[in-house]
Amino acid sequence: MDSQEPIRILILSNHTHSINKLLSALRIEGVDLKAQSVKSKKELYEQLNFLSWELILCYEDSSLSIEMVKDTLFKQGLELPIIFLVDENSTIKSVELFKAGIQDCLSIYQQCRIITAIKREVNGHRLKLNHRLLQQNFKELEKRHQALMDASSSALAYIQEGMHLYCNKSYAQIFQEDDHESLQQSPLLDLFEGESRELLRSALSKKFDNELELILTLHGKSDDSAMPDRELKLSFTPVSYGGQACLQLILKHGSGNSTYSASLNTVNKQDLLTRLYNKSFFLEKIETAVGKAIKQQQHTSLLIVQINEFLVIKSTIGLSKTNQVLIDIAAFLNKSIQKKFAAARLGDFQFGLLIDNCKLTESIELANFIKSKINNHITTTSLPSLQLSSSIGIAAINENALDAEDLLAKAMVNLHKTIPSINDAQSSNSQIQGISMLASYIDLALKEQRFKLLPQPVVGLFGETFQDYEVLSRMIDNNGNDMPPSDFLPLANLNGLGEELDKVIVNLALQSLRKTENENIRLTLSLTSNTLLSKTFLPWLSETLQATKTSTDRLFFQLSETQICNNLDHCTKFNDGLKELGLLSIVCHYGCVANPDNYLNDIQPVYVKLDKSLVRDLSYSQYQQDELIDLFTDLHNKNLKVAVPQIEDFSTLPILWKLGADYLQGYCLERPRQAMDYEFIQKHEITVDAQTYLQ
């Protein structure tokens, strides 16, 4: 279910035992319910009249017929899905029931199918109601929009196949027309003469997807010789009006110098050095692409190309030669793409590419090609002892896209991630097909929730009250085998599905908490970079926690040090949102940067989880033990506890206890598995004395 609201079910049955058995099964599945049993026509009428229901569950033993139920619904103006339940040896003909208007007919012993059918029908019912609400809101919006257009001082019209569908008063006044309605259903070409008419005819005869601008001359009318010729700027944009595809036309008075106006318009869109688009105009292009993806399912790919070690190159070869490098790279990018695209310079050493009708596999192939070519061979400028290289971030612009700012942030995050490689020509086709199939399967797995959780205990050494588990996830493939996150997470992020994946995992985790009788269990969840950049995840999480009545002290969210350092502003803002909800965070892979103090004060985690590299040689390295003692002391002085993960050797346990670790996690304690029944140490402390063997 997309919503965590309780399902409101009206049950028509005479057997209380059967009802309670089904309701119990639903609640075990984590479905919140509000149910009411009805045995007579009077009770049915009262329940439908005074309360709001989402589904009718009709048992075969009910004295109320389907025809009577449908008639009662019709009289009250209601549309509710009906699921009919029959005994195993029932003689009722399901065909007649479906003709009467039920949505499904199932045996009372098909419990799993009944639960699935209930969820499906309620979800469909809610979608139908939401659709009606959106339609009503849309009509209100259209009315306000129409009123604004009518009263606007901007000259506005909608053109379809050369004819006016609509124009406002300001538009008519430009052509000296008193009644703007007289222009509607008249040809646009009739308003111009001579060369301007032919230019307009030629422009409109060609198909264009983006904005088209023309500067035409409007000649004085023959009956009004005093009226001078005027220059008009016409801006055409493909839109829809009244449900019809058309062109929006905005008229403005020209500046008097068409050549200068055209040059000024070009300069306002361009980067002066590279002659690519500038950032502000590129953002407008991205917003247009988002609209096409949502309305027309036309997918686009956004690539950010960042030149590595650019400041070092600049300080070595100087500003003039550095500028020539950027010009050469811009020229290469303009020649490297065979599809329709837009290229821009986003910063000193960052470029953006927006590629129309580009699938994710094509984006990956293009990104690998660009990375392989951006080296000394594409520039005429000498780079002594320096190797030119790049990092590329990809973001797919599809139905999941939010806005330009969100997409740029996602692509920036992916700059720091490895792009799936497509190497030699012989294997490229199979790899492309494999990536495409996996991307499609991830989308299907999210819709059908083909995931499972494998909690792993995080053991406190000093008698913690709570029992902590880190939640690890696996995606289930078509053969029922587990797929680790490393196999599907990169593609999910590139496709903008990371947030949807996290929502599925959170829902599964909350179900696990509801099923366990141990109220001391806490779960730690990791999050994708998509979610950390999201504007919608935290509001969704707030509603979900309220609906499930989950205590906020039973969930931790885990942020990696790499995520934080690459996106400090986003992570800090996200962490502040967690705090507002009463949730706490953990920093994992701690110890990989030089100055962690730069972010610890902003994040303020409950505890930090060390990176595995810090304890890899602990058993035989005195130097590493001394380093850890200093690290633990420093963190404890900051009131931060320390967890050590991925411990696979029992010999390191007493060493870590002596050094001052607070939590331990790893295969030597317990492997990740679906059950949460690890025997934690509680209400006492461990005392361990073991010999440390040093090499």
pLDDT digits (tens, 9 = 90+) for 510-531: 999 888 878 889 999 999 988 9
- Residue in 497, 209, 213 with CA at minimum distance from that of residue 341: 209
**152-268 CATH:** 3.30.450.20
CA distance 78 to 80: 6
Q: Which residue has the higher pLDDT, 401 or 635?
A: 635
Instruction: Please state, for a pLDDT cut of 70, what percent of the chain lies above it.
Output: 90
pLDDT digits (tens, 9 = 90+) for 635-672: 999 889 999 998 888 888 888 888 888 999 888 888 89
The answer on pLDDT for 225 being more than 50 is no
352: β partners = 304, 344
The model's confidence at residue 690, banded by pLDDT at 50, 70 and 90, is: very low
State residue 256's pLDDT score.
Answer: 55
The answer on pLDDT for 261 being more than 60 is no
Average pLDDT, the chain: 83
Question: What class does CATH assign to 446-664?
Answer: alpha beta
State residue 429's pLDDT score.
Answer: 45
Residue labelled with tokens 């049915």:
44
HSE, side-chain direction, 13 A CA sphere, residue 638: 18
Report, as an integer, the average pLDDT of 426-445.
68
The answer on pLDDT for 685 being more than 60 is no
C-alpha 461: how far from chain center: 39
Q: For the packed helices 279-296 and 404-414, what is the interaxial angle rounded to 10 degrees?
A: 100
The model's confidence at residue 694, banded by pLDDT at 50, 70 and 90, is: very low
Is residue 398 within 8 A of residue 443, CB to CB? The reply is no
Burial of 378 (0-12, 13-18, 19+ CB in 10 A): middle
The answer on pLDDT for 421 being more than 70 is no
Token duo for residue 600? 């610890």
Pick the CATH number of 271-422 from 1.20.210.10, 3.30.70.270, 3.40.50.300, 3.90.1150.10: 3.30.70.270
H-helix or E-strand containing 631? Answer: helix 622-637
CA distance 248 to 245: 10
The model's confidence at residue 469, banded by pLDDT at 50, 70 and 90, is: very high
Does residue 253 sit in helix, strand or coil?
strand
Domain ranges of the chain: 7-133, 152-268, 271-422, 446-664
State residue 447's pLDDT score.
Answer: 86
CA distance 30 to 33: 9
Does residue 606 sit in helix, strand or coil?
coil
The answer on pLDDT for 504 being more than 90 is yes
State residue 683's pLDDT score.
Answer: 43
State residue 692's pLDDT score.
Answer: 40
525: β partners = 557
Q: Minimum mean pLDDT among 7-21, 231-245, 460-474, 670-684: which range? A: 670-684
Superfamily of domain 7-133: Response regulator (3.40.50.2300)
How many helices and strands (H and E) does the chain possess? 23, 23
Q: β-strands 521-526, 467-476: how paired?
A: parallel
- Residue in 411, 440, 383, 392 with CA at minimum distance from that of residue 289: 411
pLDDT digits (tens, 9 = 90+) for 111-128: 888 888 888 898 888 888
Token duo for residue 222? 């023959």
State residue 383's pLDDT score.
Answer: 67
Token duo for residue 268? 């306002």
CA distance 241 to 184: 14
State residue 455's pLDDT score.
Answer: 92
CA distance 555 to 468: 9
The model's confidence at residue 427, banded by pLDDT at 50, 70 and 90, is: very low
